[in-house]
């Protein structure tokens, strides 16, 4: 048994010597960075009190912010009105009227266009055509009145409005 007790003592001595070594290795392994090596130079110790930061120069004064510049608002415009095309029946009468007018038959031209106006009374093209016929007949007052009617119906169509203005101007000249 003496032999068994000697073995037990040796085992206790080895375990007693190994346990503190393992404890020391485990503690130190937590201090090793992930790369497995320690930096070659130790970091300088951090002083207990930090020195006061150097004074920073005052920022340059900035001018007061200006109000944002907004472009001037566009003047309100009349709602755009799309003038529908002349109906096929009115177009036929308009073509007939233009043919009579070109031949100098103004009464027949006026009769054709007046029939077209009864079909489409809100069509400015027809009022312009009748105004031009009256201008050619020498009825300037009636031509100006018809030009104003066409102008009121052509709101939103710049080309028709310009033609109506030309008719009104031409009727005022003589």
Q: Is residue 79 part of a domain?
A: no
Q: Is residue 80 part of a domain?
A: no
Q: Write the pLDDT tens digit of every residue in 96-127.
A: 999 999 999 999 999 999 999 999 999 999 99
Q: Write the pLDDT tens digit of every residue in 55-91.
A: 666 666 666 666 566 666 666 665 556 778 899 999 9
The Cα diameter of the chain in Å comes to 153
Residue (of 154, 94, 153) closest to 119 by Cα position: 94
Q: Is residue 113 part of a domain?
A: yes
Q: Is residue 41 part of a domain?
A: no
Q: Rounded to two decimals, what is the model's pTM?
A: 0.55
Q: For 158, phi and psi rounded to 5 degrees? A: -60, -40
Q: Is residue 135 part of a domain?
A: yes
Whether 143 contacts 113, CB under 8 Å:
no
d(CA 128, CA 145): 10
- CATH number for the domain spanning 121: value is 1.25.40.10
User: What is the count of structural domains for the chain?
Assistant: 1
The string of DSSP codes covering 138-154 is: T-HHHHHHHHHHHHHHT
Residue 156, domain extent: 88-172
Q: Write the pLDDT tens digit of every residue in 129-173.
A: 999 999 999 999 999 999 999 999 998 899 999 999 999 999 998
CA angle 151–154–160, rounded 5-degree value = 85
Q: Is residue 77 part of a domain?
A: no
d(CA 89, CA 36): 98
Q: Is residue 145 part of a domain?
A: yes
């Amino acid at each position: 048994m003496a032999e068994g007790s000697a073995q037990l003592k040796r085992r206790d001595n080895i375990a007693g010597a190994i346990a503190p070594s393992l404890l020391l290795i485990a503690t130190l392994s937590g201090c090793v960075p992930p790369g497995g090596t320690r930096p070659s130079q130790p970091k300088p110790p951090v002083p207990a009190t930090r020195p006061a930061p150097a004074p920073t120069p005052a920022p340059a004064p900035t001018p007061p912010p200006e109000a944002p510049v907004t472009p001037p608002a566009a003047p309100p415009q009349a709602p755009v009105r799309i003038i529908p095309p002349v109906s096929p029946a009115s177009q036929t009468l308009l073509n007939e009227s233009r043919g009579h007018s070109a031949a100098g038959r103004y009464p027949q031209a006026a009769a054709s266009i007046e029939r077209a106006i009864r079909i489409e009374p809100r069509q400015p093209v027809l009022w312009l055509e009748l105004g031009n016929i009256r201008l050619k007949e020498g009825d300037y007052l009636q031509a100006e009145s018809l030009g104003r009617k066409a102008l009121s119906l052509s709101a939103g169509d710049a080309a028709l409005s310009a033609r109506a203005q030309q008719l009104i101007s031409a009727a005022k000249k003589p």
